[in-house]
Amino acid sequence: MRIPRAINELRQRKVLRLAGVLFGVGCFVGALYFAAREREEFAAALQALRDPPPLVVVAVLVSVALGAVLTAALFHILMRRYAAIPFAEMLALMTATACANYLPLKPGFVGRVAYHRIRHGIRATHTLRTIVEAIGLSGTVASLFLASLFVLRAIGIPGEFAMMAPSLLAIAGIAPRLRTLSLALLVRQAEFALLTFRYWAVFRLVGAPIDLDAAIVLASVNAIATLIPLVSNGLGVREWLTGLITPLVSPDTFAEGVIAELVHRVAEIAVITPLGILSIAGLARYVRKHPMTAVTDTP
């Protein structure tokens, strides 16, 4: 009886994942359709992309690469409780899996769990624990960014100081048992600050500049959207959220928000795809040169 039940569960998971893919694609197409209905703003945003400021383009692309480094640093901190993994290997693994996660069904997630289990002897439950912790840190940083922004604006203090709020929590949690999570929180804070800058920059590329407060809101909300399971990198969801939130936090329109998010996504793909392919090749070469020793389950 167990085999038919397992087969049914596998089929259900595949159906859910396929439904997630279709949902994401449908949302993406729908966002573009409604954005295109705002003809003037849509055309103006596309026109601005024909002659973008070169320095801003470089800044956006570099920030994507730096974001990958910070993500690797975060998981390097969380995973070192279970195994000593060289940072270069972790960086290559995270970049490779980030590239794979652009594909439907997020195969990079499963690949990372399997790699740590086979290569480092880390139990799947421990790898999953670090992923859950990273998600929790994302929610914490995003919530602190948003809550602090509203409080600071209410008392007349510049909103950009909201990006320092997670530091206070990290310092408060410097006790030995919380030291790993506190350090990881600081890294995730830096990652979100970089994401905030990226939103600020992509809106300038489409000729619809926003202030830093608006960028904080967009970065925080969309970082959470990226974590939605079954939808690869928040496909469609991010476009809708950016389009809907943009008119609420800036003078810009739904269409300009959608185009800015599309530019953001293209920049991510343009950087992560080649780096991911190089990382996969590098990992394969690294594994051949450094064959595994016998490993046992981490206690």
- With bands split at pLDDT 50, 70 and 90, how would you rate the model's confidence at 87? very high
Query: Is residue 107 predicted with pLDDT exceeding 70?
Result: no
The answer to whether residues 236 and 31 touch, using CB atoms and an 8 Å cutoff, is yes
Q: Which residue has the tokens 């269409």?
A: 255
* Each residue's pLDDT tens digit, 35-48: 888 888 888 888 88
Q: Can you give the pLDDT at residue 59? A: 95
Q: Report whether pLDDT(174) > 70.
A: no
> pLDDT value at position 7?
52
pLDDT of residue 172: 65
Structure confidence at residue 285 as a pLDDT band (50, 70, 90): confident
Distance (Å, whole) CA 74 – CA 187: 6
Query: What number of residues does the chain have?
Result: 299
pLDDT of residue 256: 93
| Token pair belonging to 8 | 């049914």
CB count in 10 Å sphere of residue 264 = 25
As a whole number of angstroms, the distance between CA 129 and CA 21 comes to: 25
Which pLDDT belongs to residue 6?
47
Q: Give per-residue burial for 162-196: e unless 16+ CB within 10 Å, then b.
A: bbebbeeebeeeeeeeeeebbbbbbbbbbbbbbbb
Q: What is the pLDDT of residue 79?
A: 92
Residue 256 or residue 110, greater confidence:
256
Nearest to 124 by CA among 85, 82, 94, 185: 82
Q: Is the pLDDT of residue 106 over 80?
A: no
What local confidence, expressed as pLDDT, does residue 262 receive? Answer: 93
What are the structure tokens assigned to 13, written together?
A: 């998971």
pTM for this predicted structure: 0.87
- Does residue 118 surpass a pLDDT of 80? yes
Judge whether 83 and 122 are in contact, CB under 8 Å: yes
pLDDT (tens digit per residue) in 133-146: 998 999 899 998 99
